[in-house]
């Protein structure tokens, strides 16, 4: 009987140690918590452009400006740039061939006028990314520009989870 009690106590201690070990935050070399990876599955991929559009239009409505619509050509330009940023491994507005956001719109046949482009390198979902963009006054002005009528959004997620986001705002 004593043997069973000792074995049970050891087993419970082991299980308890495992359970508490998994609740500790993973800390990076800078002392900050490591990001939680947001994995984009096929269901999310189909919904993300519409969730982002709804988020942008909600923000625009709160500012009293007209809604924007998704545009397939702008989505294509955004996708090209997200892929290119991942290849370059840096978030910036110029392509590996020196192309600008305006060049990318011309390449997909968009005849309207570019208002601006928002980019991000993150592990965050689309709403967290939009929230961060809205904290930057220059990007916020692009997203809320009253003359905007069209929006494109795309991303590329690396195997390790990093997401390269691009949003294009135009008229």
CATH number assigned to the domain comprising residue 161 = 3.40.33.10
- Please check whether residue 146 lies inside any domain of the structure: yes
Is residue 86 domain-resident? yes
**In 3-state terms, the chain is what percent helix, strand and coil (to 5)?**
50, 15, 35
Distance CA 55, CA 75 (A): 16
Q: Which domain holds residue 165?
A: 42-170
Domain count, the chain: 1
- Whether 95 is in a domain gets the answer yes
Residue 3 in domain = no
CA distances from 1 to 5, 8, 13, 15, 141 (A): 6, 11, 18, 21, 74
**What is the distance, to the nearest Å, from the Cα of residue 87 to the centroid of all Cα atoms in its chain?**
17
| Per-residue model confidence as pLDDT tens digits over 36-73 | 777 888 889 999 999 999 999 999 999 999 999 999 99
At residue 9 the predicted structure's pLDDT band, cuts being 50, 70 and 90, is: very low
In a domain? residue 19? no
Q: Could you give phi then psi for residue 168, rounded to 5 degrees?
A: -115, 130
Is 1 part of any domain? Answer: no
In-domain check, residue 81: yes
Cα separation values, 52 from 57, 120, 129, 152, Å: 9, 14, 10, 10
DSSP H helices, 36-166, are: 42-63, 72-88, 101-107, 126-135, 137-143
Q: In the predicted model, what is the mean pLDDT of residues 25-39? A: 75
pLDDT confidence of 14, banded at 50, 70, 90? very low
Residue 156 phi, psi (nearest 5) = -135, 125
Q: Residue 149: inside a domain, yes or no?
A: yes
Residue 25 confidence (pLDDT): 60
**The whole model's pTM is what?**
0.78
pLDDT tens-digit series, residues 122-166: 888 999 999 999 999 999 999 999 999 999 999 999 998 999 999
């Amino acid at each position: 009987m004593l043997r069973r009690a000792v074995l049970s106590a050891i087993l419970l201690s082991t299980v308890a140690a495992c359970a508490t070990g998994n609740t500790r935050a993973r800390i990076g070399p800078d002392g900050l918590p490591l990001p939680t990876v947001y994995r984009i599955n096929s269901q999310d991929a189909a919904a993300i452009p519409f969730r982002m559009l709804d988020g942008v239009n909600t923000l625009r409505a709160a500012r009293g400006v007209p809604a924007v619509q998704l545009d397939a050509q702008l989505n294509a330009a955004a996708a090209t740039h997200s892929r290119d940023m991942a290849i370059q491994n840096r978030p910036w507005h110029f392509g590996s061939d020196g192309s600008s956001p305006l060049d990318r719109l011309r390449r997909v046949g968009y005849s309207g006028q570019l208002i601006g482009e928002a980019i991000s390198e993150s592990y965050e979902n689309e709403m967290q990314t939009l929230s961060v963009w809205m904290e930057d006054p220059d990007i916020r002005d692009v997203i809320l520009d009253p003359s905007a009528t069209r929006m494109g959004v795309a991303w590329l997620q690396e195997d390790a989870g990093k997401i390269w986001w691009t949003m294009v705002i135009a008229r």
